[in-house]
Chains A and B, each alone.
Chain A
Amino acid sequence: MASALINVPAKAKRGDIIEIKTLMSHIMETGYRHTAAGELVPRDIITSFTCRFNGSEIFRADLFPAIAANPFITFFTTATESGKFEFEWIGDQGFSETASASITVE
């Protein structure tokens, strides 16, 4: 099943401010809802998102139950050198997904 949609510009000029957009497939079950039978639906959310560029962390976010399903996280960074963005999502019930994207900086 498809998990991540990533949008990173393939090319940028050195010093450009670029936008990184990520969308991760996840139900983000809050843990506050009940079934028709009255049982609590256990919490199942992504708790952490990290982005590394060439090995060093450039962005991190903690996620909480109020965040909608299929979280869409975007942020800006400055293009300094060519390299690889690595994204990681970690969550409840052993959830762990990764994705990556490369950029060429001229």
Chain B
Amino acid sequence: MRFAGAIAVALLIAGFAFAAEIPQADRRSGYDFMKPDTKAMQDEDTANPGMLWVLDGEALWKRKAGTANKACADCHDDARTGMKGVAARYPAFDKATGRPLDLEQRINSCRSNHQQATPLPFESRELLALTAFVARQSQGARIETGGDPQLAPFIEKGRELYLQRQGQLNLGCTNCHDDNWDKRLAGSAITQGHPTGYPLYRLEWQSLGSLQRRLRACISGIRAQPYDYGAPELVELELYLMSRARGMPMEAPAVRP
């Protein structure tokens, strides 16, 4: 009996090591893995370089653009009230395309359809600035992404990609971010991969960057071919990650090492 018990315990432990999901109570933002000086940078608006983009975004919000000669503010008014909590619901389902859109894509679709302006390139200063400004209005809000039932099949696709081993290193996201988040990779904390602070300022990038940039870097890291910016796979992965982080507070613009 004792032997059977030991096997059961061993199986339990093995089961834990391969546990696909982090229990709700154990979820931690990347912020919790940082050193106090990096936390201090994020916490203070005048020390957080991400605020440079937020201020740029505020100016762009009010600037008229495109042949429609309309500014974001002409439809959405003051972002402080109108955009509050919006970023905490993205990526969201877009009726026109029948697919989820992330915040950058929503801003660009708004530009094309309502401002009749050219879409801004991914990772351009302007697009990051507008995204950061909109996301800043949700700082402290709980993430709600994925509530819409129409998103369910896309969340599932994102989850499959998250679990899928790929690349020369043959790793899936889950192998690090669920199974080994309490360990370190070289000198860096692995973290749980909750995208609570995007777009965020990475000291390594010396710039603000989007979640798609981060995902592409991670995919290169496992020596797989990264998806192009705006690829459906990346948006589905973003969607899965945000729905996985549901209930955690938004931090954008965060600072990360």
Please report A residues at the B interface, Cβ cutoff 8 Å.
1-3, 5-7, 21, 23, 25, 27-28, 68-70, 72
13 contacts between A and B (CB under 8 A): A1-B125, A5-B45, A5-B46, A5-B52, A7-B44, A7-B46, A21-B46, A23-B46, A23-B47, A25-B49, A68-B203, A70-B52, A72-B47
- Report whether B49 and A70 are in contact in the complex, using a CB–CB cutoff of 8 Å: yes
Q: B44's closest neighbor in chain A, by CB? A: A7
B residues apposed to A, CB below 8 Å: 41, 44-47, 49, 51-53, 55-56, 59, 125, 203, 206-207
Contact across chains for A6 and B49 when beta carbons are under 8 A apart = no
Instruction: Compute how far the CA of A69 lies from the CA of B59 in the bound complex, rounded to whole angstroms.
Output: 22
Choice from B49, B56, B203 contacting A23 with Cβ under 8 Å: B49
In the A-B complex, the 5 residue pairs with the smallest Cβ-Cβ separation, listed nearest first, are A2-B55, A69-B206, A7-B46, A70-B49, A5-B46
Q: How far is the CB of B244 from chain A (nearest CB, A)?
A: 31
Contact pick for B206, options A1, A7, A23, A68, CB 8 Å: A68
Which B residues are CB-close (under 8 A) to A21?
46-47
Contact call A70/B206, Cβ cutoff below 8 A: yes
| Minimum Cβ distance to chain B for residue A73 (Å) | 11
- B52 & A2 in contact (Cβ 8 Å cutoff): yes
Starting from the known contacts A2-B51, A5-B47, A23-B46, 10 additional A-B residue pairs (CB-CB under 8 Å) come to A2-B52, A2-B55, A2-B56, A3-B52, A5-B46, A6-B46, A7-B46, A21-B46, A23-B52, A28-B206
Kindly list chain B residues whose C-beta atoms are within 8 Å of the C-beta of A3.
Answer: 52
* Min CB–CB distance B99 → chain A (angstroms): 33
| A72, B49: Cα distance in complex, Å | 9
Residues on A with C-beta less than 8 A from B47 are: 5, 7, 21, 23, 72
CB distance from A36 to the nearest CB of B (A): 16
Contact assessment for B207 and A69 in the assembled complex, using a CB-CB cutoff below 8 Å = yes
> Is A5 a contact partner of B206 (Cβ separation < 8 A)?
no
In the assembled complex, the CB of B132 is this many whole angstroms from the nearest CB of chain A, namely 11
Minimum distance in angstroms from B221 CB to a CB of chain A: 20
Residues of B within 8 A of A23 (CB): 46-47, 49, 52
User: Within the complex, what minimum Cβ distance (angstroms) separates B139 from chain A?
Assistant: 16
Closest approach, in angstroms, between the C-beta of B205 and any C-beta of chain A? 9
B203 near A2: Cβ-Cβ < 8 Å: no
